[in-house]
Amino acid sequence: MKNNFFKTHSENIKKFNNGECVNAYEFLGAHYKDDYTEFVLWAPHATEVRLIGSFNSWNGKNYQMERYKDFWYIKVDNAKIGDTYKYEIYNGQNILVKSDPFAFWSALRPDTASSIYSLENDLNIVTNLENINEDVLNIYEIHIGSFITNNDGTFLNYKELAPKLTNYLIEMGYNCVEFMPLCEYPFDASWGYQITGFYSLTSRYGSPDDFKYLIQMLHSANIRVIIDWVPGHFCRDSHGLFQFDGQALYENEHAIIADNPCWGTTNFDFSKPQVNSFLISNAVFWLKEYGIDGIRVDAVANILYSNFGKNDNPLLKNKYGNFENIDGILFLKRLNNTISELFPNVIMIAEDSTDWPYVTKPVEIGGLGFDYKWNMGWMNDTLSYMKLDPIYRSYEHDKLTFPMCYAFNEKFILPISHDEVVHGKCSMLEKMPGFRFDKFAQLREFLVYMYGIPGKKLIFMGNEFGHSLEWRHYQQLEWNLLEYDEYSGMKRFTSDINHLYLNNSSFKSDLCGWEGFKWCNANDNDRSMLSFVRFSPDKEEFLVFVINFTPVKYDDFLIGVPVFCDYQEIINSDNIIYGGKNALNRGLIIPKVCEVGEMPFSISLNIPAFGGIILKPLIIRKED
């Protein structure tokens, strides 16, 4: 049986060893075959491997695996779906007890065993969404365990979450949801970023079939599903990949290269072809078996640079004498080329904090091949500006305008993620200076600015209604706050601007460069005011944005506009229904033949303190 197995998979094994395999999970790991289960393991440094599990009372005496080159095999007649297991790995000196790197599911923590599971369920096949409009991506980032819980604080499972999350995303106007990592991980407070089971859906929230149900329901509402994925490093827990067969297998043998002091983890060694096969097959696995629509690659900087978070040890330098990780760069290019070829509708997103060029350019012209990059520079500049006392904002006005200097260098996502509302950074609401009313007003105007400038959008759960506390992974969001008008008003405002973003073609010009964006006035430092226009790709529609970052209200304020026509206010963040003071511009706004800034015409507006206004054109007039 062993010889037949390896004969059947000889080509796959060759590709695995060459770094060219994209389906390693189809022959490695545990595979149930109706009346028996095959177990296959890659462990080249082992001298003996025994299988232990619930089916043999955790005694591997008569369950020695047979060796084939660097692989180990056993067929077990009495191992069935739901049984748990591990590998006892002998290396001549020690006995290591490891979970299966290719297991599809795991026992619930703190148990660390792998679980036999079959994904071959024709009644629950999920496929990627096709032909979904990518002109606007409005992403809601979520940590499943703390979005909403049962009354006793226990987790909802994936299936229970499905209708609640889907209906909420529809109500709020998000067309994408991004899940923080769902690969198996041992420590809740790592949020899933320190992984032991890359192919194992975390059992915290239910089974793989439950998760498929969740994805199906989201897809039925045309909501894309994105997952956070962590291919740069892995957890050091003894049952995981670390020193897997007694030696460095998935990591580099040099500790200074393998060590990741930033997170207390171990870096993957991208120079090993088998590691490339393991990781690229893993990305394919999530896209193919679960129908995921996008992958956000975490900590790309840690893959691009061998000295990330470390002292500049000479051992970390490449053959050219610098710290660029050549093997990591090649891995990213190979990854994106593979996914683009196999899944043309899937989007690949880089969470990259560096100024590495061409992140979202095709590999064939020297790029990394991602579809989008998180704009961390925009996020840092904007949040540092918003935290300022308004009296000092005039001196830092360029923090709002400078990001437009490079806005079209890459295909950007503007992220306000979980990282910005933890570890003493305060919630988004509490970042804003001033009294309670002013905090809400500034959070609303911040969203007008964020949604107005080019770039796809991402916001972490809770920010949409002004979550008061920092995010806590161990308890649900403060949904009780929605009983109060200021929070429910904030939620309504976010929903309104989200739906405008999804449905107005003026937001679809991100890739048009400066053809889709024009400043009305970028240089009003003294009043900390911005005004600009977003044009639709065909230039037939446009929207005018005016944002006042001070507590000063202005009456009859002239704003430049591009077209001589009547205008109508469609969003005013100071509207009383949102919790504002109702300093609105009612009825038609009549234009004037009067140049203001770079615009040939103008309109007169009432501009609320800490207010953001969005206007749309109505009737085209002849110039008087």
pLDDT at 540: 87
Q: What domain range is 11 assigned to?
A: 2-118
Backbone angles phi, psi at 376, to 5 degrees: -70, -30
Could you tell me the pLDDT band of residue 596, with boundaries at 50, 70 and 90?
A: confident
What's the pLDDT tens digit per position in 551-569?
999 999 999 999 999 999 9
What's the pLDDT tens digit per position in 110-156?
999 999 999 886 556 788 888 665 789 999 999 999 999 999 999 99
Q: Is 410 in the active site?
A: no
In a domain, 127, yes or no: no
Spot the catalytic one: 178, 269, 293, 298.
Answer: 298
420 and 435 share a domain?
yes
360 and 229 share a domain?
yes
Q: Are 467 and 478 in contact (CB under 8 A)?
A: yes
DSSP H or E run through 278 = helix 273-290
Q: Is the pLDDT of residue 93 over 90?
A: no
373 and 451 share a domain?
yes
CATH code of the domain containing 488: 3.20.20.80
CA 301 to chain centre: 15
In a domain, 125, yes or no: no
> If you average pLDDT over every residue of the chain, what do you get?
94
In a domain, 282, yes or no: yes
Report which residue type is found at 490. Answer: M
Closest CA to 461 of 207, 3, 121, 141: 141
In a domain, 314, yes or no: yes
Half-sphere exposure of 194 (CA within 13 A, CB side): 18
Q: Which residues pair with 178 in a beta bridge?
A: 141, 226
229 and 277 share a domain?
yes
pLDDT at 132: 62
Q: Is the pLDDT of residue 546 over 90?
A: yes
pLDDT at 549: 98
In a domain, 477, yes or no: yes
78 and 179 share a domain?
no
Choose the final residue of a domain: 69, 86, 118.
118
Half-sphere exposure of 395 (CA within 13 A, CB side): 5
CATH code of the domain containing 517: 2.60.40.1180
433 and 540 share a domain?
no
Q: Is the pLDDT of residue 7 over 70?
A: yes
Q: Is the pLDDT of residue 362 over 80?
A: yes
The percentage of the chain sitting over the pLDDT mark of 90, rounded to a whole number, equals 90
488 and 518 share a domain?
no
Backbone angles phi, psi at 508, to 5 degrees: -95, 15
463 and 551 share a domain?
no
Choose the final residue of a domain: 474, 505, 536.
505
Report which residue type is found at 143. Answer: H
Put residue 199 in one of left, alpha, beta given phi > 0 → left and psi -120 to 50 → alpha. alpha
What's the pLDDT tens digit per position in 69-90?
999 999 999 999 999 999 999 9
pLDDT at 3: 74
Q: Is the pLDDT of residue 64 over 70?
A: yes
> Distance between CA atoms of 35 and 25, rounded to whole angstroms?
20
Q: Are 510 and 536 in contact (CB under 8 A)?
A: no
Choose the final residue of a domain: 466, 484, 505.
505
pLDDT at 34: 86
Structure tokens belonging to residue 540: 């037939």
CA 56 to chain centre: 41
pLDDT at 122: 54
In a domain, 123, yes or no: no
Radius of gyration (C-alpha) of the chain in whole angstroms: 27
Q: Is the pLDDT of residue 330 over 90?
A: yes
Q: Is the pLDDT of residue 276 over 80?
A: yes
Q: Is 351 in the active site?
A: yes
Spot the catalytic one: 178, 293, 351, 510.
Answer: 351
Structure tokens belonging to residue 383: 């949040």
pLDDT at 620: 67
pLDDT at 9: 86
Structure tokens belonging to residue 318: 């490449």
97 and 180 share a domain?
no
What's the pLDDT tens digit per position in 597-608?
888 999 999 999
In a domain, 571, yes or no: yes
453 and 536 share a domain?
no
> Distance between CA atoms of 240 and 195, rounded to whole angstroms?
8
DSSP 384: H
Number of domains in the chain: 3
CATH code of the domain containing 111: 2.60.40.10
252 and 294 share a domain?
yes
Could you tell me the pLDDT band of residue 622, with boundaries at 50, 70 and 90?
A: low
The percentage of the chain sitting over the pLDDT mark of 70, rounded to a whole number, equals 98
Which strands make up the sheet holding 542-548, listed edge to edge? 517-524, 529-535, 542-548, 612-620, 565-572
89 and 206 share a domain?
no
Structure tokens belonging to residue 157: 């499972």
Q: Is the pLDDT of residue 484 over 90?
A: yes
Mean pLDDT along residues 293-314: 94
In a domain, 555, yes or no: yes
